[in-house]
Homo-oligomer: A and B are copies of this chain.
Amino acid sequence: MSRLPHALTLATLYALPLHAQDSTIPATVEQVAPQLGRYTQDVLSDRLWADQDRLSPRDRSLLTVSALVATGRTHQLDPFVSTALDSGVTPEELSELVTHLAFYAGWSVALPAIDRIAAVLDDRGLTADVTLDPELLPYDEDAEAARLASVDATARPVSPGLADATDAVLFADLWRRPGLAPRDRSLVTVAALIANGQAEQLPFHLSRAMDNGLTFEEAREIPHQLAYYAGWPRSFSALTPMRQVFEDRGD
């Protein structure tokens, strides 16, 4: 495996765009945990992010930003928001991503993430053009009927308030907003579920992601990407429910 110059090695610790590297090398890593700097270069930069066959840089960015937002690791967010923009994620998609995650990981993690996204956009002279009243995407009638039957069976008898909001806000509105494609919205959701250890909801959302266009080859790289940002155990806990989905779908 080739070795890049030392400055780049540490810059990639934060997966920074090259021009920003000089001012942001964390001296503490060199000082206290140089081996972590080396792993970052050899494993994250040279192998993980460089592997565009298994997953595009755009998808790796969406997964990583989502995992960091969902787990509340806001202080690590800036370089990955930058990388997301560099790999083709639009400001409007970032706006929809963080709004989506307010529901899937809590207002309490979305709000500080908005501050960081705003700062990165501001630095780059970008603004998010969000359409407040867009034409919503059509329902997938079959998928919606199946989802509703499931909520009627499991959620409504226990918490009618939660069931009503799930129907009226999440699936009649949020999921149908066109600013983030359904396939990407599913990717964001799956990342949040894995990063927060929510294996229970993973089969529904992974299956939905694949219905929405996520391929088998892309899906199986997701736990690899997330392992570095949310920890190996979270990814390993996702493997059994993922396997069940793959088998049920005949992948």
Contact = CB atoms under 8 A, between A and B. Distances in A.
A102 B73 CA distance: 14
B155 A239 contact: yes
Contacts of A207: none
- Which of A32, A91, A232: most chain B CB closer than 10 A? A32
* Oligomer: number of copies: 3
B236 A155 contact: yes
A127 B32 CA distance: 7
Contacts of A115: 26, 28
A127 B29 CA distance: 12
A218 B78 CA distance: 41
B98 A33 contact: yes
A130 B35 contact: yes
Nearest to A108: B73
Contact of A99 (B39, B192, B242, B243): B39
A111 interface: yes
Contacts of A7: none
B232 A166 contact: yes
A110 interface: yes
B132 A34 contact: yes
Given A115-B26, A115-B28, A233 B95 contact: no
5 contacts: A28-B115, A35-B132, A39-B169, A73-B108, A196-B233
The 5 closest A-B pairs by CB, nearest first: A161-B224, A73-B108, A28-B118, A162-B224, A198-B233
